[in-house]
Amino acid sequence: STTDNDEVESDHDFSNFELAYRTLDPSKMWVLNSSGRVVEKVIYDHARKLEYDSYLHSFIINDADEEAKKLFNKNEWNEILSSNPKQVPKIDENIVNLLKKYNVDNLPALQEVIFEPLFSDNVPYSTDLDYINLA
């Protein structure tokens, strides 16, 4: 049954999470300067109790997630957010415009967008645009 398959998959995912944690090199774990706590251990201790899939099972911290934020005190959270922030890459204007076209709220409008030609005559072919359009 589907439920049995879901349980087997969930058990498999959890064993992968356990294995991932156990194979982490402790010398490369993130020790917070503000408290001395190890980020991976904090995440592991919380995520192993979850009964649903979470990005935390991949040791990913979503800065917009209140659940992740609750795992750390204010100083720790500020340290996490300020440590080595990555610059968000600039998205090509043609890609942004393509994605905006799909922001419709009814099927006929979506069909109209889907069947429009992808490229106008003045836009050079782009594999990224082609992929997004066909995804």
Q: Give the mean model confidence (pLDDT) for residues 1-19.
A: 60
Using CA atoms, how far apart are residues 46 and 56, in angstroms rounded to an integer? 9
Instruction: Name the band, by pLDDT with cuts 50, 70 and 90, for residue 119.
Output: low
Contact 45, 85 (CB under 8 A): no
Q: What is the mean pLDDT of residues 20-26?
A: 95
The pLDDT value given to residue 30: 96
Q: How confident is the model at residue 120 (pLDDT cuts 50, 70, 90)?
A: low
The average pLDDT across 94-119 equals 85
How sure is the predictor about 6, in pLDDT bands with cuts at 50, 70 and 90?
Answer: very low
pTM for the model stands at 0.59
Q: Which residue has the higher pLDDT, 113 or 7?
A: 113
**Residue 44: pLDDT above 90?**
yes
Count other Cβ atoms within 10 Å, centred on residue 69.
Answer: 17
Distance in angstroms (rounded) separating the CA atoms of residues 61 and 25: 19
Q: What number is the average pLDDT over the span 11-34? A: 88
